[in-house]
Amino acid sequence: MWSPSARFSALALLAIVAPATIVAVLGYVSIRQWGASSELLYREQARDMATMAADKVETTLRRTEDAFLDRVQALLQSGAPLSGALDELLAGTPLIRRLYLIGPRGELVYPRAWRDGDQDIFGPLVSAGAVRRLAREGKREVIANNHVCLALLTRRGGEPVVAAFLRDTDTLRREILETTLGALESSTIIAVLDHEGRTVYSRAPIGDAPRLLSVGFREELPDWRLTVYQAPGASPRQAVRRQVMLFTGALGVLVVVIAAGIVATWRLMRRETEMARLKSDFVANVSHDLKTPLSVIRMFGETLEMGRVTDEGRRQEYYRVITREGERLSRLIDNVLDFSRIEGGRQTYSMTPTAVEPLIRATLEAFEYPLAQQGFKVAVSVAADLPEVTMDADAVQQALANLIDNAIKYSGDDRELTIDSRASAGWLVITVSDRGVGIAPEEQGKIFEKFYRVGRSDTQGRRGSGVGLALVRHIAEAHGGSVTVESAPGEGSRFSLRLPLGGS
């Protein structure tokens, strides 16, 4: 069969470790799924945002350029002198750096002459064929890596004119890209790259931020692309990793707390079981201790009553046995009663100044008979100059009696009892030494615990309840003192009872 603690451990494993594992596995799976879907969502959102941003840039650019062309068209239609009006219009439109108007036969309508070799660039683009092409394919064309735009206008009288203009990249960056993209709310980095992948504009330094995706512009900026980079720390994967760490940490703490709880409960349970066992031993021991002297008293009493003992000497002997056993009974009952009073917190002590030597001798007197009968060599030495000490004389006597009783009980063949009393550094120290069985070092700390008996001591064939030394310790501490033991197995023990000389 399983022991209670093994059953407890199995139960704890089942009830706590198993659910914790399930929670951990479920948590891990759902975090993985969540990680995957949030990554997808993040990319989708970034793509939507990028498309929207590109649209916005194009619309703004188109609107600005259309407004400009409308005004040029209006001037052409009005038939008024072009030069001054167009110069003025250009000066007020920083986005357009240069403007050339070319007639259907390739002749320059505005300005009067080509500038800075522009003819080489614009000439072929706006040759006669350009008018036909524009008329065929739509009214606008953006060429030369987004720098040059062509548009078809008409003069008064219906004659077509090609307007070719050069965009100013700086103004485009400042007034179009900056104003539209800079205002977007997004944690990503948005940049515009030219046909060679160079950054024309970027909302924040790109550094080595990973590239998320890139979308193209349509008609207005056909060679450029809008690219989205992931800002440092904004990755959903990082957020998920943080969550995983948090989750793992919390789970770890939980497991540690649960494990600590299990260990604490298990230890408590073990202590309780041990205590229950000690208590039941105690009841058996006390009953046994009560029965033995009682049967001796009864037997000797009955013998005397029947008048069978005629010899006076033997009769006296019997009386002494009855008295000694009676005293032993009283001591035992006092011990148990005092112990239960102490346990219930009802014990009180009445302190009075007491002479030490008479107290020791009176205590020893009660053991005169067993000591003599068992052939003990008794040595008592009390320092001559001991002052009176404030104490509860009955309680200290009881403590001493317990120490002496033990010295007798736990002696082997070497029967010696030494009681020594002296003052030392403000303490009254009474030592009770024997040359008996001794106590193993690992037991020395436990013998003062209630109900504790070494090796459940009746194995040593000696009777006892296990409360004697607990009582001694309590009495010593109630006086502000202490009790200690020095002992070696087979060599005997020496108990020192220390009480403060000044009283407590």
Give the pairing type, strands 427-434 and 416-424: antiparallel
Q: Which residue has the tokens 């023990």?
A: 493
Q: Is 131 helix (H, G, I), strand (E, B) or coil?
A: helix
Strands (E), 225-376: 225-229, 352-354
Tell me if 454 contacts ligand ADP by CB under 6 A: yes
Site for ligand ADP in 391-430 (CB under 6 A): 402, 406-407, 410
Stretch that binds ligand ADP, among 189-197, 231-239, 276-284, 447-455 (CB under 6 A): 447-455
Helix, strand, coil % in the chain, rounded to nearest 5: 55, 20, 30
Q: How far is the CB of 311 from ligand ADP (least distance, A)?
A: 36
The Cα–Cα gap between 54 and 225 comes to: 9
Q: How far is the CB of 292 from ligand ADP (least distance, A)?
A: 13
CA distance 100 to 163: 6
Question: Is residue 281 a contact residue for ligand ADP (CB under 6 A)?
Answer: no
Can you give the length of the chain in residues? 504
- Closest-approach residue to ligand ADP (CB): 464
| 94 phi/psi in degrees, rounded to 5 | -60, -25
Angstrom distance (rounded) from CA 217 to CA 289:
104
Q: What is the CA radius of gyration of the chain?
A: 54
Q: How far is CA 320 from the centre of its chain?
A: 69
Region binding ligand ADP by CB under 6 A among candidate stretches 85-93, 145-153, 247-255, 450-458: 450-458
User: Considering only residues 122, 465, 475, 478, which one is a binding residue for ligand ADP as defined by CB under 6 A?
Assistant: 465
Q: Mapped to the 3 state alphabet, what secondary structure does 172-190 carry? A: HHHHHHHHHHCCCCCCCEE
Across the strands, what pairs with 225? 193, 216
167 or 453: whose CB is closer to ligand ADP?
Answer: 453
Taking CB under 6 A as the criterion, the residue among 359, 469, 476, 478 binding ligand ADP is 469
Q: Could you tell me the smallest distance in angstroms from the CB atom of residue 278 to ligand ADP?
A: 11
Q: Which window, 61-69, 213-221, 248-256, 445-453, contacts ligand ADP (CB under 6 A)? A: 445-453
Closer residue to ligand ADP in complex, CB, 468/481 = 468
Among 434, 475, 481, 498, binds ligand ADP (CB under 6 A): 434
CB of 434 to ligand ADP, least distance (A): 5
* Among positions 324, 453, 473, 474, the unique one binding ligand ADP when judged by CB under 6 A: 453
Kindly tell me which of 141 and 405 has the beta carbon lying closer to ligand ADP.
Answer: 405
Partners of 379 in beta bridges: 418
Where does this chain touch ligand ADP (CB under 6 A) — which range of 3-11, 166-174, 307-315, 461-469? 461-469
If binding means CB under 6 A, how many residues of this protein chain bind ligand ADP?
22
Q: Binding of ligand ADP at residue 293 (CB under 6 A)?
A: no
Candidates 251, 183, 181, 259; CA nearest to 221 is 181
165 forms bridges with which residues in the sheet? Answer: 99, 149
Instruction: Pick between residue 201 and residue 451 the one whose CB is nearest to ligand ADP.
Output: 451
Shortest distance, CB of residue 272 to ligand ADP, whole angstroms? Answer: 21
Q: Given the structure tokens 């009872």, which residue do they identify?
A: 497
Q: How far is the CB of 371 from ligand ADP (least distance, A)?
A: 14
Lookup result for tokens 């197995």: 489
Q: What are phi and psi of 195, to 5 degrees?
A: -65, -20
Site residues (vs ligand ADP, CB under 6 A): 402, 406-407, 410, 434, 436-439, 447, 452-454, 457, 464-470, 493
